[in-house]
Structure 1
Amino acid sequence: MAAAALLRSAFRELSSTACGWRLRAALRRRLIHSPSHRGADSAESAAWTCFPLGDRALVRVRGPDSAPFLLGLLTNELPLPGPVAGVSKPPARAGYAHFLNVQGRTLYDVILYGLPVCTDEAPTFLLECDASALGALQKHLALYKIRRKVTVEPSSELHVWALLPSTSGASEAEPLLQAKAEGAAVLTRDPRTACMGWRLLTRDEDPALMPGGRLGDPQDYHRHRYQQGIPEGICDLPPGVALPLESNLAFMHGVSFTKGCYIGQELTARTHHMGVIRKRLFPVRLAGPLPASGIAPGSPVLTESGKVAGKYRAGQGDVGLALLRSEKIKCPLHIRTSDSGQVAVTASVPDWWPTATK
């Protein structure tokens, strides 16, 4: 604890210079990977684990036409901040959606933040996306901007954090969380499912900004979401390949079937109303000797008789996601590795899915 206090003090003393900023970043990396820090702030004494998501980026869309502009491109309604009794400036709201191509396949998955504005200000939205897709998403938005009064720009001053509750003490700390962390620009529940906790956007990189929280390793965050069956980013949702309903977009509250038209709507609506989705992304666990480089994305998942049941999509270690035929998930499945070995694949149905699908 004393070492952590000294490091936090170093953050404050060094924050005023450019050199100090670089040193602060180095110290932060050491905090993230330091076993002693994780041991001192154990899960038993912390209600929340705060994960810095450096692989996520933000795009700001603002202007008088920003709402209709985004509605014509996204699968979901916009998370507009509504009035709150006794509050002059309501908190930001979040939503989940995909951008689709004209064939109805996913291009980019985004978490949307509707920012509160005064009556004389133009609507402003933040789009959280895969950092490696930031440039492509900006080009996509510029392509359809045409003459609309909309400004699209990166929001590099903000950092994305995921907050997951620890096994104990989270319910008692939730009032503190709802009161907002020091320095937070946006703090809101993850719109996809309750098991993904909260999303925090802040200008401060100091991990001590959240009361009652401890710093977590981002790899643990990704492992958690793979176990829960949550796809995120272009590795899990390959642009132009993934279909939104097969990717469980409806389960994650990411599509509206009553909103106005948007690009790619026809196939999505037709699939929904037909009610037949034969394949879905399932969380899977791998057992057996794994290749040093991991399982290659797109590797066929086979039944015991050698028939193709689906494809492995992405993962981390022995957990991941696979696009599988629903009727095959209870069968013995495996993946053949490059060295002629086999890795057993066990698929599961997440607890948070609608009961009718189980």
Structure 2
Amino acid sequence: MTSLLQAAVAMRPRFVAALFPPGVRRLSTRCFPLSGLRGLLRLRGPGSASFLHGLVTNDVEQLKDGAMYAHLLNVQGRSLFDVIVYRVPGQGDGSHDLLMECDAAAVDSIHRHLQVYNFRKKVDVRPCPELSVWAFVQKKLELTEKPRPLALFCAPDPRGPVMGSRVVAPTGQDIADILPGVEIGTVLDYIRHRYQHGVPEGVKDLPPGEALPLESNLVYMNGISFSKGCYIGQELTARTHHTGVIRKRLVPLHLSSPLPPEAAGAEVTTASGKSAGKYRAGVDHLGLALIRLVCMKEELHITVGGGAPVRVTPSLPAWWPPPGDGA
């Protein structure tokens, strides 16, 4: 059994205390198994943080216990992969482990990407199939006192409160052993929740080499530092931020009828036929699209394969800061 898995097993009693500390009542908490959607890479070695620091948009060297959201960019400043980074505390052997959560379909690609830059660094990078990710979304919480900090392998989702908490547990672990009586949701439930709140995740929502980080709301999701040192793709991102001009954003949609998977990348048009953006992905009557902000209040449609136009209604998520408060 690996040291990470041993630590997770040893910490099992603390999961419950971490998610529901004294003074917090358990009310309508839903748990989503993400083992089929999300994978993990482990970075181990004294240079892990500094190595990753130069490759991602956020300040990994400032990460203590908990989690941090970030993107890996290409040299043109476009997003390659979205990741959540966890620092693993309490390693008695003095190691400096980081866990990187990513789209399960991108684990091998990210592994290769990291290895390209892993020279002169004593960093061991490898997939971590012995651990799996769970998402916990609290529909309602009542607090009677300030919660304690979350424990090892359990942290608030760094993208924002609307996404609840992330838990990393041993693969195959029955979550009912950790949280008896928790309501188990499906993968589709989780995807609907994300799309309803306009939170992109993975290569379908953020096509590698196409998506721009600021148009993908990286600032709103706490995924970028503008005060850290240089990293790959920084120049364009910093220039866009400092000009303060972002004309398109990835926003949630309500669809008049579901669209097929092949609709990904389809043009979103106004009633007059003018291009208003591009559809990314969706499920049922929910989806995401990159929309020109000036077109947000117009009547918009998507037409796929000569079929009838599907009306799409974009919206601005309630969790976004007021206009003028962020890039």
TM-score, normalised relative to structure 2? 0.85
Q: Does 1:151 align with 2:124?
A: yes
Q: Is the 8 A contact 1:283 1:349 kept in 2?
A: yes
* Equivalent-residue separation in structure 1 for 2:145 and 2:127 (angstroms): 31
* CA-CA distance at 1:276 after TM superposition: 0.4
RMSD over aligned CA atoms reads: 2.2
Select the structure with the greater relative contact order (CA < 8 A; seq sep ≥ 6).
Answer: 2
Q: 1:70 aligns with which of 52, 64, 89?
A: 52
Partner of 1:52: 33
Q: Runs of 4+ in structure 1 displaced over 3 angstroms?
A: 79-82, 117-120, 172-180
Partner of 1:316: 283
Partner of 1:330: 297
* Equivalent-residue separation in structure 2 for 1:179 and 1:144 (angstroms): 32
Partner of 1:216: 185
Q: Is the 8 A contact 2:53 2:61 kept in 1?
A: no
* Equivalent-residue separation in structure 1 for 2:148 and 2:275 (angstroms): 46
Partner of 1:186: 153
Does the residue aligned with 1:356 lie in a helix, a strand or coil?
coil
Deviation by residue 1:174-233 (Cα, 9 ceiling, x = unmatched):
9899676xxxx5111000011000000001531312245211111111101001110000
* Equivalent-residue separation in structure 1 for 2:244 and 2:63 (angstroms): 32
Q: Does 1:206 align with 2:198?
A: no
Where structure 1 has 5 or more consecutive residues not aligned to the other structure, the ranges are: 1-44, 83-91
Larger Rg: 1
Query: Does the C-alpha gap of structure 1 residues 58 and 174 become closer, same or farther in structure 2, counting only changes over 3 Å?
Result: farther
**Equivalent residue letter for 1:238:** P
* Equivalent-residue separation in structure 2 for 1:225 and 1:357 (angstroms): 24
* Equivalent-residue separation in structure 2 for 1:66 and 1:278 (angstroms): 36
Q: Is the 8 A contact 2:205 2:281 kept in 1?
A: yes
Does the residue aligned with 2:133 lie in a helix, a strand or coil?
strand
Q: Which runs of structure 2 are paired with 1:77-156 in the superposition (5 Å)?
A: 77-78=59-60, 82=64, 92-117=65-90, 121-156=94-129
* Equivalent-residue separation in structure 2 for 1:212 and 1:194 (angstroms): 23
After TM superposition, the structure 1 stretch with the greater mean CA deviation from structure 2, 156-165 or 170-179, is: 170-179
Q: Which runs of structure 2 are paired with 1:160-175 in the superposition (5 Å)?
A: 160-166=133-139, 168=140, 170-171=141-142
* Equivalent-residue separation in structure 2 for 1:135 and 1:294 (angstroms): 23
Partner of 1:353: 320
Query: Does the C-alpha gap of structure 1 residues 315 and 221 become closer, same or farther in structure 2, counting only changes over 3 Å?
Result: same
Deviation by residue 1:83-122 (Cα, 9 ceiling, x = unmatched):
xxxxxxxxx3100000000000001100010111458613
Where structure 2 has 5 or more consecutive residues not aligned to the other structure, the ranges are: 1-25
Q: Which runs of structure 2 are paired with 1:215-234 in the superposition (5 Å)?
A: 215-234=184-203
**Equivalent residue letter for 2:50:** P
Q: Is the 8 A contact 1:47 1:173 kept in 2?
A: no
Partner of 1:278: 247
Does the residue aligned with 1:245 lie in a helix, a strand or coil?
coil
* CA-CA distance at 1:153 after TM superposition: 1.0
Q: Is the 8 A contact 2:49 2:61 kept in 1?
A: no
Query: Does the C-alpha gap of structure 1 residues 174 and 336 become closer, same or farther in structure 2, counting only changes over 3 Å?
Result: farther
* Equivalent-residue separation in structure 1 for 2:49 and 2:245 (angstroms): 32
Q: Is the 8 A contact 1:173 1:212 kept in 2?
A: no
> Percent identity among equivalent residues?
50
After TM superposition, the structure 1 stretch with the greater mean CA deviation from structure 2, 201-210 or 127-136, is: 201-210
* Equivalent-residue separation in structure 2 for 1:333 and 1:144 (angstroms): 43
Query: Does the C-alpha gap of structure 1 residues 119 and 186 become closer, same or farther in structure 2, counting only changes over 3 Å?
Result: closer
* CA-CA distance at 1:305 after TM superposition: 0.4
* Equivalent-residue separation in structure 1 for 2:206 and 2:212 (angstroms): 8
Does the residue aligned with 1:235 lie in a helix, a strand or coil?
helix
**Equivalent residue letter for 2:84:** I
Deviation by residue 1:145-190 (Cα, 9 ceiling, x = unmatched):
0121110011111110000013x4x33599899676xxxx511100
Deviation by residue 1:48-91 (Cα, 9 ceiling, x = unmatched):
11100021000001111111101100100127565xxxxxxxxx
Deviation by residue 1:289-340 (Cα, 9 ceiling, x = unmatched):
x45x356101100001010000001111110100010010111101113243
* CA-CA distance at 1:46 after TM superposition: 5.1
